[in-house]
Amino acid sequence: MGKQEITSNQEFPGNTMIEMIKVSRSYPPDIQALSDISFSVKTGEMLFIIGKSGAGKTTLLKLICNMELPTKGLIEVAGYNINMLKGKDLAHLRQKIGVAYQDFKLLSERTVAENIAIAMEVSYKKPRAIRQRVYDLLEQLQLSGKHDTITCELSRGEQQRVALARSVANSPRLILVDEPTGNLDAYTTEKVMDLLNRQNKTGATIVIATHDTSIYESGNKRVLELQDGAIHSLTIRNG
Amino acid sequence: MNFWLAVFRQTGRNLRQTWTSQFMTFLTVSLSVLIFAFFYLIYTNAIGTGDKLRNNLTLVVFLEDDPGPEMQEQFKRKIKNFDTMKSIRFVSSEEAYQRFAEELGENSDVLDDMPRDFLPASFEIVPLKSLSGYNQIKLFSQYLASLPGTEKVQYGQEWVERFHYFTRLLTIVVFLSGTLLILTATFMVAYTIRLTILSRKAELELLKLVGATNSYIRTPFLIEGILQGLMGSVIGLSSLYGLFRWISNHFTGPGILNLFQFNFFSLPVVCIIIFGSILLCSIGSYTSIRKFLLI
């Protein structure tokens, strides 16, 4: 591949959003978190990653968003070797990837609205557009009354939804979600999945790491199961 | 929202979150600028006064005897051999007597019993401006004293010497206060920016993850440094100007201060001090960004 340059308003062409070929990740002294992972995710697909705790789901998501580097193997996102990207190119690609982290990564002293807006501010969206988008997302996630609440005052379930709102705020083309429903009741889980499905229908590719069987049993989606850092199965679950 | 608007919003947040340390840094920079500018102002005025005094410098060479016209010419030639002079004037004993009598005015009768040649003849020499350094004048006076027939050379040696050492001392003080300014501006700003970076580590980490560019993350810290330099120098110089006005207003009338004309800095000098302060604070900010904000 020649020189890779990404601009902030560039769309991702092509059919494949994520390509992983023989990707491994180990941690010192000799912990093998992932070994020889190979799979592809098509643009617009919704993929579920399941597996027991410690199977490597979170590590896999961190590798896709370039939060960590693989020990070996190739990772391409939208045709770009993400580990070769640096500076502005990496920043512009990250603007197109929304991530809801398992530990939320919320700014505890900032308000809910500020936490969600941060993803849009870095891509220089207009203040009015940011305000409108934040209101819409809070409404969709049953958090309308929490607009000006400091995030450290929220419950775990509310924080989880704020993290999810931030991940979709910038209308990214790829959304990575780590345990989106872990702290939620059935009703709120449904709302969260509605939001993700809507994003998926607009063309966003979505990868969800989860333990919650209820969210992937009902659809016609691919499910990748990890076991001890390796792919155990890659199946299509029919609801 | 464009880049600069986003960056200024971010800068505003930084300043709000760490306003106490920002305020302390701002005070330190202001005080450093004030101290430096205070001594520099005295220095520039002293140099200006020195220049004026040197313009009026006259060396008087008292002679042993009243020389004849030929010897006067010989003397003049010898003096010109050292350097070109603005003027060389011969004052005979008779003329010196007349001058003295005029100066005494009504009391000139005290000279009645004195012989009219009791005052020595002399040469009054006004050197050119190029011969203005303390050491040059000293050398010139030594040269004049070495000429045969010279009894004494007078030019207010003691005063010139004291003034020379005073300006040398001021040069050292200005140098030291300049060093203080450099140290406080760069290190205090660097330290404050470092504190800000450390206190906002989680946020900066998140900004990277959501796709903020390096310049989006770094520029607000650089702006903080520029603001510290700008505000610190403006407040420091304004305080000095206030002090200058107060002294000017309260020490008018006869007094030692009126012997010299004190002037405040010219606009270009004010701009240079402000620009220098901004530059130093930016360097402090930049070093912290380079060291602690690894993106």
Q: Does B206 touch chain A (CB under 8 A)?
A: yes
Give A227's strand partners.
A230
What confidence score (pLDDT) does residue B188 get? Answer: 82
Predicted confidence band at A96 (pLDDT cuts at 50, 70, 90)?
very high
Minimal-distance CA residue of chain A relative to B5: A124
CATH of the domain at A69: 3.40.50.300
Sheet with A72-77, side-by-side order of all strands: A31-42, A16-27, A72-77, A80-81
Q: Give the mean model confidence (pLDDT) for residues A57-66.
A: 94
CB-based contact B41:B265 (threshold 8 Å): yes
**Considering the domain boundaries, does residue A10 fall inside one?**
no
Q: Exposed (0-12), middle (13-18) or buried (19+): which is A178, by Cβ within 10 Å?
A: buried
**Cβ of A37 under 8 Å from any chain B Cβ?**
no
Share of chain A above pLDDT 70, in %: 93
Best mutation site among A115, A120, A124 for testing chain B: the one with the most B CBs within 10 Å? A124
Residue A80 included in any domain: yes
CB B148: neighbour CB atoms within 10 A?
Answer: 9
Angle at CA of residue A83, ends A114 and A221, nearest 5°: 70
Q: Are strands A221-227 and A205-209 parallel, antiparallel or unpaired?
A: unpaired
Spatial CB neighbours of B23, under 8 Å, sequence gap ≥ 6: none
Backbone angles phi, psi at A9, to 5 degrees: -105, 15
In a domain, A2, yes or no: no
Tell me the ipTM for this assembly: 0.85
Mean pLDDT, all residues of chain B: 85
Sole residue written with tokens 């807006």: A117
Chain A interface includes B2 (CB < 8 A):
yes
Distances (CA, A) of A121 to A22, A134, A164, B4, B210: 36, 12, 17, 12, 10
Q: pLDDT at residue A160 above 60? A: yes
DSSP chain A: -------TT----SSEEEEEEEEEEEETTTEEEEEEEEEEEETT-EEEEE-STTSSHHHHHHHHTTSS--SEEEEEETTEETTT--HHHHHHHHHTEEEE-TT----TTSBHHHHHHHHHHTTT--HHHHHHHHHHHHHHTT-GGGTT-BGGGS-HHHHHHHHHHHHHHT--SEEEEESTTTT--HHHHHHHHHHHHHHHHTT-EEEEE-S-THHHHSSSEEEEEEETTEEEEEEEE--
Assigned domain for A11 exists: no
Using CA coordinates, name the residue in chain B closest to A91: B211
pLDDT band at A1, cuts 50/70/90?
very low
Task: Tell me the C-alpha distance between A99 and A121, whole Å.
Answer: 16
Q: What is the pLDDT of residues B272-294, one digit of tens each?
A: 999 999 999 999 989 988 887 76
> What is the pLDDT confidence band of residue B156, given thresholds at 50, 70 and 90?
confident
Shortest CA distance to A134 belongs to which of A166, A101, A110? A166
Which residues in chain A are contacts of B216 at CB distance < 8 A? Answer: 91, 122
pLDDT at B256: 54
Are the Cβ atoms of A91 and B203 closer than 8 angstroms? no
Distance, CA of B65 to CA of B233 (rounded, Å): 62
Q: Does B270 touch chain A (CB under 8 A)?
A: no
Structure-token pair, residue B63: 């002679």
Q: Ranked by mean pLDDT, which of A204-208, B8-12, B123-127, B214-218 comes out on top?
A: A204-208
Considering only CB atoms, B212 lies closest to which of A99, A122, A125, namely A122
CA angle, A13 then A15 then A19, to 5°: 105
| Tokens found for residue A143 | 């958090």
Are the Cβ atoms of A107 and B216 closer than 8 angstroms?
no
Most confident listed range (A3-12, B43-52, B234-243): B234-243
| Beta-strand runs (E) in chain B | 59-63, 85-91, 122-127, 150-154
Which residues of chain A have a CB within 8 Å of the CB of B2?
Answer: 124
Q: What is the dihedral of CA A150, A155, A161, A164, to 10 degrees?
A: 70
Query: Are A72 and A22 contacting, i.e. CB atoms less than 8 angstroms apart?
Result: yes
Reported as a single tens digit per residue, the pLDDT across B194-214 is: 888 888 888 888 999 999 988
Note whether A97 contacts B: Cβ–Cβ < 8 A. Answer: yes
**Testing the interface with A: which of B2, B14, B210, B293 to mutate, by most A Cβ within 10 A?**
B210
Is residue A83 a contact partner of residue A69, using CB atoms and an 8 Å limit? yes
Residue A97: beta bridge partners?
A: A174
Q: How many residues does chain A have?
A: 239
A231-to-A49, A123, A187, A234 alpha-carbon distances in Å: 10, 35, 32, 7
Cα B281 → chain centroid: 23
- Predicted local confidence at residue B260, as pLDDT: 63
pLDDT tens profile A127-155: 899 999 999 999 999 899 999 999 999 99
As a whole-number percent, the residues of chain B with pLDDT over 90 amount to 18
* Residues B6, A126: C-beta atoms closer than 8 Å: no
pLDDT tier for residue B257 given thresholds of 50, 70 and 90: low
The domain of A64 spans: 16-237
User: What's the pLDDT at B252?
Assistant: 65
Round to whole Å and give the CA distance between B227 and B16: 14
Could you write out the DSSP letters of every residue in B111-129? GTTS-TT-SPPEEEEEE-T
Q: Which of B213, B214, B215, B216 to mutate to test the interface with A (most CBs of A within 10 A)?
A: B213
Provide the pLDDT for residue A137: 94
The answer to whether B37 touches A158, Cβ cutoff 8 Å, is no
CA–CA separation, B171 and B44 (whole Å): 10
CATH class of B58-154: alpha beta
B24 pLDDT above the threshold of 50: yes
Per-residue model confidence (pLDDT) at position A5: 64
B259 falls in which pLDDT band (50, 70, 90)? low
State how far residue B292 is from chain A, nearest Cα, in angstroms: 17
B110 in A contact zone (CB under 8 Å)? no
CB of A121 within 8 Å of a chain B CB? The answer is yes
Find the mean pLDDT for residues B253-274. 79
User: In this complex, do A87 and B202 lie within 8 Å of one another by their Cβ atoms?
Assistant: no
Query: What is the mean predicted confidence (pLDDT) over A3-20?
Result: 70
Cα A214 to Cα A186: distance, rounded to the nearest angstrom: 9
Tokens of A48: 């579920």
Query: In the predicted model, is pLDDT for residue B251 greater than 70?
Result: yes
Interface of A with B in 53-82 (CB under 8 A): 65, 67
Per the CB < 8 A criterion, the answer to whether A69 and A87 are in contact is no
* Maximal C-alpha separation, chain A: 50
Q: Is the pLDDT of residue B35 over 60?
A: yes
In which residue ranges of chain B is CATH 3.30.70.3040 found? 58-154
Domain count, chain A: 1
> B-chain residues within 8 Å CB-CB of A166?
210
Using a CB-CB cut-off of 8 Å, the residues of chain B touching A93 are: 211
Mean pLDDT, rounded, of chain A: 89
Half-sphere exposure in the Cβ direction for B106 (13 Å, CA): 0
Q: Beta A205-209 vs A46-50: how paired, if at all? A: parallel
